[in-house]
Structure 1
Amino acid sequence: MLEGRKVTVLGAGVAGLAVARALALRGAEVTILEQAPEIREVGAGLQISPNGARVLAALGLGDALEAGSQRAEAVDLIDGEAGGRVVRLDLARRRPGEVFRFVHRADLVDLLAAGARAAGVAIRLLQKVEGVTLGPHPPRLATAQGEEIDCDLLIGADGLHSKVRAALNGTVAPFFTGQVAWRATLPEDGGLPPVARVFMGAGRHLVTYPLRGGRLRNIVAVEERDRWAEESWSLTDDPLALRIAFEAFVPEVRGWLDRIERPNLWGLFRHPVAARWQGQGAAILGDAAHPTLPFLAQGANMALEDAWVLADCLARAAPEAALAAYQARREVRVRRIVGAANANARNYHLAGVRRDLAHLGLRFAGRFAPGMLMDRFDWLHGHDVTAPVTG
């Protein structure tokens, strides 16, 4: 069904590059329109869980992922104020083939871009799309350069402020969650253990893990507060504000924060999952369809899953039926993941008696039923969108 079909993808991030390769491998003629002058990524670390790694392997990029990332062995939940490990989640003892990896966002984008180009995808840079028109005619794009582009099939991988999502659903204002996040990376000597460490405190938490073989330390710090911040990946903040927010944390954490000179800051806003993911010759995926808070490490993994399922559906049926099947196959799972991420934010920030009881329960489970905590997420990490679909 895809052989020779022309597909236009907006956005050269994780979702756009992955869906472009998936479609091109099935015979489509794919063009990506990217507004930036080069394919590059801001931000820092990502965690690729088994459900996302399966997609990369199915796309023929498993070896590239292994070469460009680091295997994760465990997650430690730590009392950020009193110190001491609350519980360890052992990732290394999962089922055969279930691999968790730490990867720099830029490295993941680079391997996906190389994979897209190798599959024959054309990538056009400096293509800022200012308008998307859907209707009885084929989707039409208006660029900042004054060009009008008619698309046979349009896929919006254009992120939080997606023009394609707006064309399908109208504009819905997100709301501020009362949380802000700082991101930073620090150079290290390569000796960091392959463990994600989550330091939890009242109204705040900090996550750190190694990147690029331990030569970088990735840091994401989240605080609950009334003052909102812009929803932007490129905004920087005074490092003193970050240090003050975590001044009650253990010396190890404060020592890292003392080394940060220009942290990135962004406000965390909750966007609803889009009601319509497709229609009139267009579809959306990744953050354009279902933005999520960063508390379950599933943003990139969901985008990879979307890419595979969308391409698979388009290979099986004519576009109208295929796009409807794509949303049907993805929506229930995505809503469950977004809800679980929202819940994790609350769990990390407990205070007082509730926090003491929660930590006691985690310690008990870690000692007497260590597999139980990881088994709670079998529905998430054990899912395989690349498995054959029957019926």
Structure 2
Amino acid sequence: MARRRLRVAVVGGGIGGLATAIGLRGHGAEVVVHEQAAELTGQGAGIAIGANGHRMLRELGVTAALEGSAVRPARAEFRNWRTGRTMALHQLAGSYEERFGAPYWTVERAAVQQALLHELGEAQVRPGARVSAVEQSADGAVIRFADGSEAEADAVVGADGIHSAVRNGVFGPDDAVFSGTSGYRALVPMERLGHVRELAEPVLWLWLGPGRHFIAYPVADGTLLNFLAVVPDREWTVESWATEGSATELLRAFEGWHPFVTEIIRASGRPGRWALYDREPQRAWSSGRVTLLGDAAHPMLPHHGQGANQALEDAVVLARILGGADTDEVEQALRTYELARRPRTRLLQRGSRQNATCFQLPDGPEADARNIRLASLPDDLAWIHGHDALTALQPETSGSSA
């Protein structure tokens, strides 16, 4: 008797959700992505894709679609906030790829999302689907939506972000942890910045200063500059990609900084502004036939640049393990996935918190010691960028293709 195809409902049409659907389909599962937004817009400006994330995109077959828009920065430069002095410099083009087996990309989040959507096919995505409840039985799960509709599946994957309705419905409410900081993001056309001579070549810039830091890099084939500015702000608690700040208020926050930083801010118009939250590492991601993925499972601050990368790793690992399971093996497969992924993401959640402090030390002995440590950064981060989430799976946990 032929094995029935596994039916999986993925909640969330972001990078993690779409990647999960592609991976599961490749292992023979029937997959539908349920997205609460009316359309997929890819908010969030730019992201960095390290070698560990690039390997996952390659596994999913979407790297070719991104080659034209992704940028390969020549190097990463850490600069002093006021003087512009280079405190550390690390090559990214050439030596990085040779060491880690894949390139380092900077790319628009929307471009990655659209490449994944194109690979999956829009017919597999159901927009405007807001989850109101998730219920389980011994042999399946049902998602109920706000419009009164429902969807049955053998397994449910919650890839619906830090405010996950799936996590809330299955594990109960919990509180996000406010970092006491705000992040400002913008995509600035390079044509507005022609007078900033440092931008003549593609570089990942990290400007570190007392109480705040500023990161910038090119995306969209070098036509746009993405920046993230992180400032202390315990009054602003709105966690939303859609909220706007202003260049004027951001300039006040970076008063006295090097003209490289202030000129970019001045050209940004109305940058997006959102309060930075994460959550304490969860003791469990899976319950019965429901599991979590990406920010729904392990939201982290953006100070390692690994949020999207870890969602991609989750997606490909989950697809490998769950895609090879029979319908009566779903619960065990989800537990296996969680055990394979949770230790690594827990370390990255904690490391992202620590980086916030490290990046924002006041001038003095502690900052001087940090600057010395920056020289060994490639070795210190090798466990992140050199990781291959699939080869790390033990043979007995990797499942089998359908």
The TM-score bracket by the shorter chain reads over 0.9
Give the Cα separation in 2 of the matches to 1:360 and 1:36: 43
> How much does 1:252 deviate?
1.9
The DSSP-based 3-state class of the residue aligned with 1:72 is coil
> Aligned to 1:110, which of 107, 110, 114?
114
Give the Cα separation in 1 of the matches to 2:370 and 2:173: 41
Structure 2 residue 242 is the aligned partner of structure 1 residue 240: no
**Conserved? CA contact 1:2–1:27, under 8 Å:** no
> In the alignment, which residue of structure 1 is the partner of 2:348?
337
Q: Which moved more, 1:257-266 or 1:127-136?
A: 127-136
Root-mean-square deviation (Å): 2.0
> How much does 1:168 deviate?
2.8
Structure 2 residue 139 is the aligned partner of structure 1 residue 131: no
**CA deviations over 1:40-61 (Å, ceiling 9, x no partner):** 1111000000000001111122
Gaps of 5+ in 2: 397-402
Q: Which moved more, 1:232-241 or 1:183-192?
A: 183-192
Give the Cα separation in 2 of the matches to 1:163 and 1:52: 26
> Aligned to 1:226, which of 234, 239, 256?
234
**Conserved? CA contact 1:70–1:213, under 8 Å:** yes
> In the alignment, which residue of structure 1 is the partner of 2:224?
216
> In the alignment, which residue of structure 2 is the partner of 1:10?
11
The DSSP-based 3-state class of the residue aligned with 2:160 is coil
Give the Cα separation in 1 of the matches to 2:367 and 2:394: 45
Give the Cα separation in 2 of the matches to 1:11 and 1:102: 23
> In the alignment, which residue of structure 1 is the partner of 2:400?
none
**Conserved? CA contact 1:138–1:280, under 8 Å:** no
> How much does 1:163 deviate?
1.4
Total equivalences in the alignment: 382
Q: Which moved more, 1:60-69 or 1:317-326?
A: 60-69
Q: 1:357 to 1:6 in 2, by over 3 A?
A: same
> How much does 1:321 deviate?
1.3
The DSSP-based 3-state class of the residue aligned with 2:140 is coil
Aligned residue identity for 1:232: S
Alignment of 1:220-299 (within 5 A): 220-299=228-307
The DSSP-based 3-state class of the residue aligned with 1:177 is strand
> In the alignment, which residue of structure 2 is the partner of 1:375?
379
The DSSP-based 3-state class of the residue aligned with 1:173 is coil
Q: Which moved more, 1:192-201 or 1:105-114?
A: 192-201
> In the alignment, which residue of structure 2 is the partner of 1:188?
190
Give the Cα separation in 2 of the matches to 1:44 and 1:360: 29
> In the alignment, which residue of structure 2 is the partner of 1:369?
none
> In the alignment, which residue of structure 2 is the partner of 1:354?
365
Structure 2 residue 214 is the aligned partner of structure 1 residue 203: no
Give the Cα separation in 2 of the matches to 1:233 and 1:2: 43
Aligned residue identity for 1:109: Q
> How much does 1:136 deviate?
4.4
Give the Cα separation in 2 of the matches to 1:356 and 1:28: 51
Aligned residue identity for 2:153: C
Give the Cα separation in 2 of the matches to 1:354 and 1:296: 23
> How much does 1:386 deviate?
2.5
Structure 2 residue 170 is the aligned partner of structure 1 residue 168: yes
Give the Cα separation in 1 of the matches to 2:3 and 2:212: 48
Aligned residue identity for 2:34: L
Q: 1:327 to 1:252 in 2, by over 3 A?
A: same
Identical aligned residues as a percent: 34
